[in-house]
């Protein structure tokens, strides 16, 4: 158990070192852009996501709120996850094609630091919460 904890702390320290080194190599604009993206992924940014048909010039859908775009979506697909309340979320799945595209507008300016890189550690991603399900009867 002790070696396992040491491994986790070593992993966290390596991640921190990599983040600090990469922050030192970025321009102020790169750092601000990265910090804005992190803020949006943490539902701190009001956005409007508009889907439109490029051939007919018609708007198909508009989503507004504290929304994060999918970071690991498949080609031709986009997910938009919006935070509605302290523990309330909605996730939208949208298909993209050669004539359907989207743009994202940040509705309000937010303050991000161009000199300090933001790093978020989430213990649940390092040590996930595991649900167990067993077969058998109780009692």
Q: What is the pLDDT of residues 87-98, one digit of tens each?
A: 999 999 999 999
99-122 confidence digits (pLDDT tens): 999 989 889 888 877 767 667 666
Q: Please say if the pLDDT value at position 139 is more than 60.
A: no
Residue-level pLDDT at 34: 83
What number is the average pLDDT over the span 15-32?
68
Alpha-carbon gap, residue 125 to 23, rounded angstroms: 22
Q: Please say if the pLDDT value at position 3 is more than 60.
A: no
Collapsing DSSP to helix, strand or coil, 130 comes out as: coil
Q: Where are the domains of the chain?
A: 2-108+120-126
Q: Please say if the pLDDT value at position 75 is more than 70.
A: yes
Q: What percent of the chain has pLDDT over 70?
A: 69
Residue-level pLDDT at 42: 87
Range among 13-17, 49-53, 123-127 with highest mean pLDDT value:
49-53
C-beta of residue 104 within 8 angstroms of C-beta of residue 49: yes
Residue with the bigger pLDDT between 10 and 47: it is 47
What number is the average pLDDT over the span 29-55?
88
C-beta of residue 38 within 8 angstroms of C-beta of residue 116: no
| Strands annotated E in the chain | 46-53, 58-69, 77-85, 88-95, 100-106
């Amino acid at each position: 158990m002790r070696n396992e904890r040491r491994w986790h702390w070593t992993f966290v320290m390596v991640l921190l070192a990599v983040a600090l080194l990469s922050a030192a190599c970025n321009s102020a604009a790169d750092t601000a852009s990265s910090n804005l993206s992190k803020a949006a992924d943490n539902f701190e940014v009001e956005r409007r996501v508009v889907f439109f048909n490029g051939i007919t010039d018609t708007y198909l859908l508009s989503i507004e709120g504290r929304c994060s775009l999918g970071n690991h979506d498949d080609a031709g697909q986009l997910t938009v996850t919006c935070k509605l309340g302290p523990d309330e979320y909605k996730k939208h799945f949208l298909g993209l094609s050669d004539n359907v595209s989207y743009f994202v507008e940040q509705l309000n300016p937010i303050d991000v630091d161009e000199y300090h890189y933001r790093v978020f550690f989430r213990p649940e991603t390092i040590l996930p919460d595991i649900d167990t399900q067993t077969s058998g009867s109780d009692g």
